[in-house]
Amino acid sequence: MAGAPTGVEQGRDTPQARSYNRIRRRLSVADFALSLALLAVLLFVNTGQGSRWTEVLRDWAYSGARQHYALAVFFYLGMLLLGAKLIGLPLDYYGFRLEHRYELSNQKLRGWIWDEVKGWLLGLALATIVVELLYWTIRIAPQHWWLVTWAVFIVLMVFFAQIAPVVLFPIFYKFQPLQNEELRERLVRLSERAGTRVRGVYEWKLSEKSKKANAALTGLGATRRIILADTLLQNYSADEIEAILAHELGHHVHQHIIKGIAVQVAITFFGFWAASALLRYAVEQRQMFPSMADFANLPLLALLATVLSLLLMPAMNAYSRYNERQADRYCFKAIPSVAPFITSMDKLAEQNLAERKPAGWLEWLFHSHPAIWRRIQAAQAFSKTNA
């Protein structure tokens, strides 16, 4: 088939791609282990003065807030997130240097530091909303706090997904309406055939920070928009860009966003129920905390969320890969030829240093998308069947 390199068909990866992805996985594992270690120290390590570290932070927070509960919660959360950020900073910096070592980043150190600061402040703001709501609800409805908090959490999740393209993304990246009118109209027609109405097509100034390429269909309802990285626009043909977007529209056609929200609703329902049971056990059976409203127990909730995320990761990745295969199949049907899809997959793998054919266990455990060689084989099989 035209445009399908032999190396790609055979699933070959360059030593550089294998090395880059191996280091990235190790970084992810190290970051996860560091998070677990920090939570364990806060919860189970005694300071030598009869208090655990989480209790020391709580007392400092109360002192700084002059015993005002809500302000003390904020101070405690701020110290917790600041400590976590400082402890994880060496790994974050190594990740920054890694992108430069493999020539995947354009970002200067000053810009990276500023992004880290903005990311931390945004994380603090969002976490404050959730945590303040959590402990306020525990105080006024100790029996049903988890159910109330779960319902509000779902509303917030949908709300932030809707405002992300217009409020959150611009904090880190610049966007402008796509100037290529012919391409814009072509992509809008493609989205209309998929049954979705987009509110605009935007050029994403990704090249200011990265040499990688990407595209997405973002937002919900009135904020639904197509974003195309300038690195994509510079290096890919209109047919290839159409193929990439057709895949993204496949998620809309198969209602993956709605289904994903439904899955999150179920998972978080179980998670909040488990958090309630764990807090009650820690307070009533183990007497780790004087009450459930003692915000020194926040690391315990974070530990539960971390462990649940780890246990669910293979299943969630398998579900995501299933969705991606459905989106690919829609793409094959929506474009005149699968050749641009195949060439775009090859170019994305090369440009982003993605692994074309990872080991099976790595794909099962870590990958939210099918391996690139599988996606290309599926496209070739579709072409032969529909020739």
Other Cβ atoms closer than 10 A to 310: 11
Pairing mode of beta strands 215-218, 175-177? unpaired
180-230, pLDDT tens digit by residue? 999 999 999 999 999 888 889 999 999 999 999 999 989 888 889 999 999
287-317, pLDDT tens digit by residue? 999 999 999 999 999 999 999 999 999 999 9
CB 78 within 8 A of CB 60: no
CB 27 within 8 A of CB 95: yes
Average pLDDT, the chain: 93
pLDDT number for residue 197: 84
pLDDT (mean) for 40-55: 90
71-123, pLDDT tens digit by residue? 999 999 999 999 999 999 999 999 999 999 999 999 999 999 999 999 999 99
Q: Which residue has the tokens 């209109």?
A: 238
Q: How confident is the model at residue 11 (pLDDT cuts 50, 70, 90)?
A: low
Tokens of 178: 């796509």
Q: Is the pLDDT of residue 30 over 60?
A: yes
Tokens of 179: 């100037």
Tokens of 96: 């920054």
111-168, pLDDT tens digit by residue? 999 999 999 999 999 999 999 999 999 999 999 999 999 999 999 999 999 999 999 9
Report which of residues 335 and 11 the model is more confident about.
335
pLDDT (mean) for 60-65: 95
pLDDT number for residue 3: 40
Distance, CA of 26 to CA of 304 (rounded, Å): 23
User: Alpha helix (H) ranges present in the chain?
Assistant: 6-9, 15-44, 53-64, 69-101, 109-140, 145-163, 181-193, 230-235, 238-253, 256-280, 298-334, 339-352, 360-366, 372-385
Q: Is the pLDDT of residue 173 over 60?
A: yes
Share of the chain above pLDDT 70, in %: 97
Q: Is the pLDDT of residue 5 over 60?
A: no
CB 242 within 8 A of CB 331: no
Report which of residues 2 and 120 the model is more confident about.
120
- Put simply, whether the predicted model's pTM sits higher than 0.75 gets the answer yes
Task: Return the DSSP state at 165.
Answer: I
pLDDT number for residue 222: 85
Give the dihedral sign, CA 122/81/79/302: positive
Q: How confident is the model at residue 1 (pLDDT cuts 50, 70, 90)?
A: very low
Q: Rounding to the nearest 10 degrees, give the CA dihedral for residues 325, 329, 332, 334.
A: -120
Half-sphere exposure of 366 (CA within 13 A, CB side): 17
Q: Which residues of 360-384 are buried (b: 16+ CB within 10 A; e: fewer)?
A: eeebeebbebbbbbbbbbbbbebbe
Report the length, in residues, of the chain.
387
pLDDT number for residue 227: 95
Q: How confident is the model at residue 7 (pLDDT cuts 50, 70, 90)?
A: very low
